[in-house]
A and B are shown apart, each in its own frame.
Chain A
Amino acid sequence: MNRGGQAGEQIMIFPFIFLLIIIGVGIVGGVVIFFGAEYDVRQIDADILNYKIRECISEGEVDLTHQPAPKEEEFYKNCRISESAIVENNLIFKICLGDGDCVQDDGIIGVWSNLETCRFEGVKENDAFPKCSKSEVEKDGKSYKIITGSNQFSKKRGVGI
């Protein structure tokens, strides 16, 4: 019996187990990262908010020509948008009158900050910045620009809350 040879064969099991561990850790890590990533619907949120505002303006549900400024309470009520939900969940929107740069110009109504991030190509892959949607609508001879954005993430709560 070649005991030296047998011992050599038995020792080889350790590198084999080590290799299995390395492969296993890689696969487990990849799966956890993939399935752990959040299901990102922020772009859809921004698109739907933009659509609601656009429809509200085009169907005449709200008067944005009121001077000196449109009535915010009337806007939220007639367009059926919850102001508290917008403010508390990192949603933004801005409505501008005319053909200018809505990001820089004064808006006539909205809740917004740092809208410049909606223009940067480089931040589109960065999950820290909101996802934005832009559109234009005409009503009664006036042109309105609408920018909306969403940076809402889901909330995990323990049971009992």
Chain B
Amino acid sequence: MNKKAKLNDLIMSNVVYFILTALFVIGLSVFVFGQMNGSGVWEEFYAKEIVKVINLAEPGDEITLDVHRGTVIAKENEVRSYSDMFRIDNADNEVCVRLSSSRRTCYSYFNDVDVMDWKVELGVGKNGGNILSFKVVEVKRNE
């Protein structure tokens, strides 16, 4: 009995299954990790976390938030302008976050304040990350 030849036959007859299984596992892993790092998920997260902070803020507060992960995702999705990633609309009391080239996610705050001087500052956060900073002020009324 040629045991070596039988072993080779066994391996060769199953190599297609090995290749298919490997491709399947790699493809699924890429998909799952892509979803975990998906821009949609992080847009929701940042918009709502920023709104939470604004709703609790008082005029005079200066706020900084770590947005490093979001800026990395946005750059991967070819969002070129940092100023376009986070937009705060005082007229509509709305925070919009854009981490992809095709869409932005918006959420509204009910605190009657204005948000001024918002900007993304690069490399100044904890561990050299990027931060979003802004100031909360009294709303300007037309008396």
Distance to closest chain A CB from B61 (angstroms): 12
Query: Is the pair B44, A88 in contact by a Cβ cutoff of 8 Å?
Result: no
Sort chain A's interface into a size bin: 35 or more
A-side interface mostly: helix
On whether A82 and B13 interact (CB within 8 A), knowing A24-B24, A24-B28, A157-B103, the answer reads no
Q: Is B32 at the interface (CB under 8 A from chain A)?
A: yes
For B, the interface residue count at a CB cutoff of 8 angstroms equals 39
Please report the C-alpha to C-alpha distance between residue A95 and residue B57 in the assembled complex, in whole angstroms: 23
Please report the C-alpha to C-alpha distance between residue A12 and residue B64 in the assembled complex, in whole angstroms: 60
Contacts of B108 in A (CB 8 A): 85, 88-89, 152
Q: Which of B65-73, B94-102, B120-128 contacts A (4 or more CB under 8 A)?
A: B94-102
Contact with B along A1-24 (1 / 0, CB 8 A): 000000001000100110010001
Query: Is the pair B36, A157 in contact by a Cβ cutoff of 8 Å?
Result: no
Residue from A20, A88, A154 within 8 A of B24 (CB atoms):
A20
Query: Is the pair A80, B31 in contact by a Cβ cutoff of 8 Å?
Result: no
Distance to closest chain B CB from A46 (angstroms): 11
In the A-B complex, the 4 residue pairs with the smallest Cβ-Cβ separation, listed nearest first, are A85-B110, A82-B112, A39-B44, A85-B93
24 contacts between A and B (CB under 8 A): A13-B20, A20-B24, A24-B28, A28-B28, A31-B31, A31-B32, A35-B40, A39-B48, A41-B52, A44-B52, A48-B56, A49-B55, A49-B110, A52-B55, A85-B93, A86-B110, A88-B108, A89-B108, A89-B110, A155-B105, A156-B103, A157-B103, A157-B104, A159-B104
Residues of B within 8 A of A (CB): 13, 16-17, 20-21, 24, 27-28, 31-32, 35-36, 38, 40-41, 44-45, 47-48, 51-52, 55-56, 93, 96, 98, 101-113
